[in-house]
């Protein structure tokens, strides 16, 4: 073979092919399961045999002699990770990228209360009612912190244990409201943080609800 190509060892060829495919010396060494210094020694040997001034020149020369079909048949040729990421990102439009970024940010943030029943500041009638809190994502089952602060107000009398909705978003608590009462309920109040994300276990942001009961 012309110009020393026939003198290359199989491993020298593989490292050169990796360089031709876009790898660095370090990533080529990783792909070959050898040290960086071993990869550099293979490249030095290949340069001497081919009479090339740089490893990239040697890689291009080998690639030109083998053609694309040979490179595609080599099972060790892999697309560098950075190139794969760049290709995927290039195929996404701005709206899709924004949606992905929003989803990542949402997953990293703690759960938060999005609605309550009764609503903040609402006046309800005396008697049985359902206290409910809805979060922005599914919450862990059998894990809740309905908290009372005696300095802020009373807590309604509970008529049973809290129940979690089928979609995991809402905890409800059957209660009895006393005529003329003013209630304050806290959802997660340190050190009580049992309302938690079902997927990550992250405690929900503390929230506060106050509402009143009519005189009857």
Which tens digit of pLDDT belongs to each residue from 52-103? 999 999 999 888 888 654 444 444 445 455 556 666 666 677 777 777 766 6
Contact 169, 159 (CB under 8 A): no
pLDDT at 85: 62
pLDDT at 70: 47
Residues of the chain with pLDDT below 50 are 1, 69-77, 79
pLDDT at 80: 52
Entry field: residues in the chain: 216
Total domains in the fold of the chain: 2
pTM of the model: 0.53
- Asked whether residue 132 falls in the same domain as residue 194, the answer is yes
- Asked whether residue 16 falls in the same domain as residue 82, the answer is yes
What is the C-alpha to C-alpha distance for residues 163 and 174, in angstroms, rounded to an integer? 9
- Asked whether residue 198 falls in the same domain as residue 127, the answer is yes
pLDDT at 21: 83
Q: Which domain holds residue 29?
A: 2-87
What is the C-alpha to C-alpha distance for residues 116 and 172, in angstroms, rounded to an integer? 10
- Asked whether residue 64 falls in the same domain as residue 122, the answer is no
- Asked whether residue 65 falls in the same domain as residue 130, the answer is no
Tell me the backbone φ, ψ of residue 191, rounded to 5 degrees: -90, 10
Q: Examine residue 92 and state whether it is found in any structural domain, yes or no.
A: no
């Amino acid at each position: 073979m012309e110009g020393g190509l026939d003198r290359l060892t199989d491993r020298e060829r593989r490292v050169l092919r990796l360089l031709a495919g876009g790898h660095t010396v370090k990533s080529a060494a990783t792909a070959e399961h050898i040290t960086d210094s071993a990869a550099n020694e293979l490249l030095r040997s290949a340069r001497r045999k081919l009479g090339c001034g740089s490893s990239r020149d040697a890689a291009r020369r080998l690639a030109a002699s083998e053609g694309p079909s040979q490179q595609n048949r080599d099972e060790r040729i892999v697309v560098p990770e950075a190139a794969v990421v760049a290709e995927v990102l290039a195929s996404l439009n701005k709206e899709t990228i924004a949606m992905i970024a929003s989803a990542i940010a949402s997953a990293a943030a703690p759960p938060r209360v999005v609605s309550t029943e009764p609503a903040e500041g609402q006046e309800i009638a005396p008697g049985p009612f359902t206290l409910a809190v809805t979060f922005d994502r599914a919450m862990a089952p059998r894990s809740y912190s309905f908290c009372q602060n005696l300095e802020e107000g009373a807590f309604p009398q509970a008529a049973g244990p809290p129940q979690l909705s089928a979609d995991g978003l809402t905890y409800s608590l059957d209660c009895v409201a006393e005529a003329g009462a003013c209630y304050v309920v806290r959802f997660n109040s340190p050190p009580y943080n049992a309302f938690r994300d079902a997927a990550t276990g992250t405690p929900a942001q503390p929230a506060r609800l106050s509402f009143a009961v009519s005189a009857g």
